[in-house]
Each structure stands twice: as structure tokens, then as C-alpha cells.
Amino acid sequence: MQRSGGWAVLAGGLAGGSLDILFAILFAAYNGVPAMRLLQSVASGLLGPSAYTGGVPVAALGFLLHFAMAFAWATLFLLVSRHVPLLVRHPLPSGALFGIAVFLIMRFVVLPLSAFPHPVSFKPLATTLDLLSHIFLFGIPIALAVWKISPAGLTTRSSGLASAAIPVKR
């Protein structure tokens, strides 16, 4: 069954967005921050400090904003991959590099230009885990979703090359 770019954006955005927000909620909970507060923090990029007094509706907005960004990033990866086929021929390293790029752009461009009311910090453990999350839980799922619909992915899977790394004893 042939899948479309829309499928890749939907699947990649949902997978990457879900895994990323789940990690963020669990890490926040580990640090004593409730999920609602974390989601309000996402919304604070749009609303500023008032996001923290908006209750559940603002947390829901933060949830929606998070997924809107995930779909936007997935769309960007899909569009760039159509001009740079290397990205879909090697989805794991390209997804990892994409995750790093998203992490850096969010930290150095998006957050500073938004209404996010906190200084962007780089605490070693949180930064390392956030970077790893962007690589493995965000960038790679998006790249794999795009690979799945690409001619390179279809050729690799149908020719058996996807499992060629596993030796078969006869």
C-alpha cells in the first residue's frame, strides 16, 4: 500500500510528539512538576507568564501547541527530504541529526523569540536528557515515517536490504 506525505507527517508528528511530550511529562514529574504545569509552560511561549494562571484550558492549549509544532517539524523534514534524498536513504543518522537541529533551534531561536518567561538554561542532566529525547524520541520517529513513504524506503524494504545486516545461517 502506497502511503502519502500527509501520512508521514501525521504518523511522524504523532509518534515524535507523543514520545517527546511523554518524556517531558515523566521528567517533570520526577522533578516534582505536575503535568498541567509542564503543559502550561509550553503555552507560555505564546501567552507569557499568564499561562500559569490559566488552569486546564491553557494546559490543553499547550498540548495542542506542542503537537502543532511536532507536525510542523515533520512537515519540514518531509519537504527537505524531497530535495535531499540522502535523508531518506539513511533515516537513523538523518533523524538523529534532525533531532539535534530541532533541539538547538528550539533552545537558541524559538524560545528566546517567544513569550517564554524563563531564561533558557542548560543544566547538564536536563539538557543531556532533552537532547537525547529530541534525537531518539522525536527526530528518528519522524525520519522513519518519511522513510516509510519514500522511494528509497520502498526499495530498501521490498528488496530485502532492510534485513541484510542480519546474517542468515543455512
Q: What is the pLDDT of residues 66-98, one digit of tens each?
A: 999 999 999 999 999 999 999 999 999 999 999
The Cα–Cα gap between 5 and 26 comes to 31
State the chain's mean pLDDT as an integer: 91
What cell numbers appear for 124 in the block?
Answer: 547538564
pLDDT tens, position by position, 34-54: 999 999 999 999 999 999 999
Amino acid 153: pLDDT: 63
How many Cβ atoms from other residues are within 10 Å of residue 38's Cβ? 21
% of the chain at pLDDT higher than 70: 88
Amino acid 115: pLDDT: 98
pLDDT tens, position by position, 144-170: 999 999 876 655 555 444 444 434 343
| C-alpha separations of 13 from 67, 96, 120, 146, 157 in Å | 7, 15, 24, 10, 22
The model's pTM is 0.88
- DSSP codes joined into one string, 38-49: HHHHHHHHHHGG
